[in-house]
Amino acid sequence: MALSDVIQLEDEHLSFEGKVTSVLLTDSGGTITGRGNVSVYGLCYVHYNLTANPNMATQGGMTGKGYAIDDNGEENSAALHGVWERKGHALKIYCVDDISDGKIHLAVVTINLRDETLRVDFSRVAR
C-alpha cells in the first residue's frame, strides 16, 4: 500500500517566511523561536522545543506552539509535533500541526542557524 492511499494533501501549497528571534540551548536540546508571515494566517509567532535523540546527536523530537493573527484580527493557534534533523547550520523539522481552525497541516520547517532565517512549507491534510 502506498502512503498516498492513506493520506491525501490539498493541492494548495502554503508557506511561512520569517526570522529566528532566539535560540536557547539546554543539556537535552533547546528552544528556537521565530516570527514571520504565514500566507493564510497573517503574522505568526512560533516556538519549537527540541529534544535530542540520545543515540543521534543531530536529530530528535519536537513539540511546539504557533500563534497567528491576521489583518482582520482573527486569531489561530497551533499545537506542533514532529522530528528534527540538523546538517551543519541547516535544521529541518518534519511536522504535523493541529490548528485551532480545525485544519491539520503537514509541514517541513527549514531553519538556517547561520543567517537566522525560518521557512515553513506546508499543505493541509484533505479529510
Q: Which domains does the chain have, with CATH numbers?
A: 3-124 (2.40.160.20)
Are the CB atoms for 92 and 84 separated by under 8 Å?
A: yes
Q: Tell me how far apart the alpha carbons of residues 34 and 62 are, in angstroms, rounded to a whole number.
A: 15
- Whether the per-residue pLDDT at 4 is higher than 90: the answer is no
pLDDT at 57: 86
Arithmetic mean of pLDDT, 22-34: 93
With b for 16 or more beta-carbon neighbours within 10 A and e for fewer, the 54-86 pattern comes to eeeeebbebebebbbeeeeeeebbbebebebeb
Q: Tell me how far apart the alpha carbons of residues 35 and 127 are, in angstroms, rounded to a whole number.
A: 29
pLDDT at 61: 98
Q: How confident is the model at residue 3 (pLDDT cuts 50, 70, 90)?
A: confident
3-state secondary structure 61-91: EEEEEEEEECCCCCEEEEEEEEEEEEECCEE
The pTM is what?
A: 0.93
